[in-house]
Structure 1
């Protein structure tokens, strides 16, 4: 039985991700509680990197508070590595992401990177995606018609709320969380939902899947390559 808490497992994989950081490079940085542990670890080697491209206002604030320069994605042609967490990851390296509402910017930064390193604790490992409600960033006027499309697939879409009002993303849009799905073909599913009018980003990461997953387990960090 593991004596490590989930928080300690997150710190473990956050530190382990430093092995993929190349000196003199700009690092792609994701969003969320596990990534916060990586950002804290990154501060220990900040003199060896040029800075970071961030996927959210929250990560940007944390990076800057630790003295790490943050670059705009438009200033960077490519990144050697992007480090981010996942709400679920399957044996192919496909993920569900967006629990922190940063999925659109996460895909943008991931698309710049040569390698996607996913950091997660073992509770995020699943055989089939869909147990975690799928986040979908939508343009508000399309929310109900998108919800009906998911209903036709057997999913139940709920508008994400904060303090009783619709959650507003860093991009000024809303989030639908869709439960009741089993996503057996993530690549095809992502492509299909991306084509629906009003969808900004679907939280299936199959086109930008992980190349490596550092999984925090009771036995330590398990490295899975895809």
Structure 2
């Protein structure tokens, strides 16, 4: 049965496909969470099946772990791995310095722990994720359930003294109930519109009692691989200061990806 990818899925696919070139036999690889990261896991699974690639994957969520096992990737915990060769993950936003907002998929805590336990972090994204200044996408912060409403109030009061345009804070919901992360915590989404000083913001917000972690990834990402709907790929390396372009051909009827849902 054949199928046709939408332009946005083509962009995600070619970015993920390009990123697999950084993965080598014997590596311990952090596997991100979200729709773009799912493309990566599928691509790596194809390499395991068809090319005999041998890697150990450390997933950043239970759903990524399930997908990795389904496509034949050996899954281990971060405690077993201790340190990773690289992590490949998606992002909700990235700026010109490759600073990120992550956590739209609800896995920001595990994603940040895994990314910082890696020699290199590679982000895969479509071109729409690039912004001049972070903050257009709501910034998630993970908070413990105990006293979360007090934590929310403290966050709102703290925002008054920070360089942001918006200050709306909302509890993320899962239907009629609060959303729970894999660690059993809640997520507060901060609708800021613009974050004037992301580094300062991250340090200040993490000092609030009840806040576990925030979705700002500052100085963590090394490379961003940007996919386009026409098959073009752009690779930006912040350390090398380079930008490279290439193109990937995709096969519309590749059944390996036909069942991948966002």
What's the TM-score, normalizing by structure 1? 0.93
What corresponds to 1:34 in structure 2? 36
| Alpha-carbon offset, residue 126 of structure 1 | 0.4
Q: What secondary structure is seen at the aligned counterpart in 2 of 1:183?
A: coil
1:109 aligns with 2:114: yes
Q: Alignment RMSD, CA only?
A: 1.6
What corresponds to 2:206 in structure 1? 194
What corresponds to 1:68 in structure 2? 73
8 A contact 1:29–1:54 mirrored in 2: yes
What corresponds to 2:10 in structure 1? 8
Matches within 5 A, 1:1-226: 5-46=7-48, 47-140=52-145, 141-142=147-148, 143-149=151-157, 151-152=159-160, 153=162, 154-207=166-219, 209-218=220-229, 220-226=232-238
* Unmatched 5+ stretches in structure 2: 239-262
| Alpha-carbon offset, residue 4 of structure 1 | 6.0
| Alpha-carbon offset, residue 68 of structure 1 | 1.0
| Alpha-carbon offset, residue 22 of structure 1 | 1.9
**Distance in structure 2 (CA, Å) of the matches to 1:6 and 1:26:** 29
CA change 1:187–1:180 in 2 (3 A) is closer
What's the TM-score, normalizing by structure 2? 0.81
Counting matched residue pairs gives 223
* Consecutive aligned runs of 4 or more in structure 1 exceeding 6 Å deviation: none
Residues 134-168 of structure 1: CA deviation (Å, up to 9, x unaligned): 11111121343344235524411000111111101
8 A contact 2:180–2:186 mirrored in 1: yes
Residues 169-196 of structure 1: CA deviation (Å, up to 9, x unaligned): 1010001111134223222221111121
User: Which of 1 and 2 has greater Rg?
Assistant: 2
**Distance in structure 2 (CA, Å) of the matches to 1:9 and 1:50:** 25
Residues 93-147 of structure 1: CA deviation (Å, up to 9, x unaligned): 1000000000000011001111110000000000100000111111121343344
| Alpha-carbon offset, residue 67 of structure 1 | 1.5
**Distance in structure 1 (CA, Å) of the matches to 2:56 and 2:159:** 43
**Distance in structure 1 (CA, Å) of the matches to 2:7 and 2:158:** 36
